[in-house]
A and B are shown apart, each in its own frame.
Chain A
Amino acid sequence: MGARDILLARLGWALTLALAIAAPFALGSYHLYQLTQVLIYAVALVGLNLLTGYNGQISLGHGAFFAIGGYGVAILTTKLGLPYWAAIPVAGAICFGAGFLFGFPALKLGGLYLALATFALAVAAPQILSYTGFDAWTGGSQGLQLGKLKPPAWAHVSADTWTYGVALIAAILLFGFALNLVGGRVGRALIAIRDHAIAAETMGVNAPLYKTTAFGLSALYAGVAGGLSALAVGFVSPESFTLPLSLAFLVGIVVGGLASIGGAIFGAFFIEYVPNYADQLSVQFGESAKALPGAIYGLLLIAMMAAAPSGALGLIRKIVAALFGAERA
């Protein structure tokens, strides 16, 4: 990356941060709630991108880690009385452990086989969550109701603004960490393993350690996102974490741009807003088209991939290059 690109990237981040901080002052509670969802998805997408985009391990099962984080926070706050700000890191740590452990069998599996193994994880998650034996903890199929997030008295803000703020702080911390990670030695090692594992090992990279750690970190991101989601929605149930959620994450990182941290934000906007637009668009085709939001979503997705095969961020880079001319690295 040349000096100009670095400058542009920094400008982009500064602008994004400024908009994110200004949002609560400009938006109503519903739009703020949607933006909170975007932040939550963005955190999960960064996590998945660390694993899939940077390290080349495909996961179709991140909905499961999202679920563990969500249920973790729900159980810790409602059953064990932990405050939410303590519950989120704990849930993240649990997910790190779960992801790290899942990373070991994943070492034996490459490419599509790993995709299948993680797919199984996503399919199994709702079943395990509604298993009757865990009813006392998980609420079984009825799910768990969380109390509304209460802002402290000194804050003088609404519960929605406070929830948004909590999600924003978590997102800033986790985005910052991820940017640092991929910009340094660890990031180079992850990419080297993705591009040529044997060559990376020859260079002295401990591939198994990096791969399992990448899995753990990625699960941690998904878990924190799941925990934030449980707080924002105020309810968890097995139906909240079904297979389409895992698939939405994969759609998100591809749409946003593989192996890019900033792309996660675009991906998050896509998976939050496009299904809604598909629903609204489908009404335009008359009452009988009410059953078609899925088909319209599919068309929009195809259109998006045709317009920006390298993701939203790739498209922006192309536009920048076209406007200012390609820069010599």
Chain B
Amino acid sequence: MIDIRDLDVVFGHGKQAFHAVRQVSLAVEAGQSFGLVGESGSGKTTVLRALAGLLDRVATVSGVMTVADETLQEQRSKSFRRRVQMVFQDPYGSLHPRHTVDTIMSEPARVHRLDRIEERVVSALEEVGLDASFRFRYPHQISGGQRQRVSVARALITDPDIVLLDEPTSALDVSVQAEVLNLLMRLKREHGLTYVLVSHNLAVVAHMCETLSVMQNGEIVETMSVQQLREHSSTMPYTQQLLTASLGYDRAAIDAFEEFGQ
């Protein structure tokens, strides 16, 4: 479904150039959930934004990206824009504060000249567990979890095949996170969606995905199945350290931490 070959992303030019992503290749099959894991600055979000075509004016992107047999051009096709949707990290920053939920959700439908917009908005809201009365509220009138549901509903409006999820629950309380993760799993089953999930939380990725890549300093360190992650059978010391760290505070283990990269 998604195939990325030798992706490089460089921000800036000359002396100021910053090589954010180096030689990243990955493949995601249809109906799969693929996780990208790493610490801040590892380039995981940049890979996602490069795929979505959000970097073309701010960075030099090279490499070959193919989505469902379509080789992506710098100017993405309209069908790509419809088939690939994104959910962002911060539900406070990614919904227009002066637009109602109805306006926010019908905009992608209008852009793609879809019919029965009102019907689509109501049914997408229903799918994410919000009733039709939410249509006429503003983002500040609803909770963080409800906002993230609206973001998911907005992504569903164009009936996409692929949803790119950039830390979709890291701004939420754990009880709300569980609800949103369950929602995402159900939608994936019902619509046969393909997910690419970026997260720093290994447990969330283990819960959602079948395969994951661990990134560090712009490169993929290791790609493995979630089963391998669970069995701690990773071969790379960086991944093992990340795993140890995500299990909680262990004074003795911390002294053994190494500095990686640079």
Whether A associates with B in a native complex is: no
Q: Which B residues lie at the A interface, using CB under 8 A?
A: none
